Amino acid sequence: MFRRVYIPASDGELGSQAREVIRLLYGHFCAHPGEIPAEYHIRQDSVERMALDYVSSMTDHFALRIAEEIRPGIAALSTALYR
């Protein structure tokens, strides 16, 4: 019955790294709203909301690429898993 036990990704090192990447991206775009694409500036949303919408719309690969541009080395574990 317990031959295979699955640990959710959010509980392991990969989940921890994913949270770190999301925090980095969100903080970066809150601090640099001019880097958020124009289509996210259409409504009169707060900078925080625009950053949240932008980060949440990113694919995993895109988010990791942008995170690497902001802080090189942050996505090393994740990018190794995608190869």
Confidence (pTM): 0.80
C-beta of residue 68 within 8 angstroms of C-beta of residue 75: yes
CA distance 59 to 30: 19
Domain that holds residue 55: 26-81
Say if residue 79's pLDDT is above 70: no
Q: How does DSSP assign 21-82, residue by residue?
A: HHHHHHHHHHH-GGGS-GGGGSS---HHHHHHHHHHH--HHHHHHHHHHHSTTTTHHHHHHT
For residue range 4-63, list pLDDT tens digits in order: 545 555 667 778 888 999 999 999 999 999 999 999 988 889 999 999 999 999 999 999
Please indicate, yes or no, if residue 34 is contained in any of the structural domains: yes
Our count of domains for the chain comes to 1
Please indicate, yes or no, if residue 14 is contained in any of the structural domains: no
Residue 39 tokens, joined: 């289509």
Please indicate, yes or no, if residue 56 is contained in any of the structural domains: yes
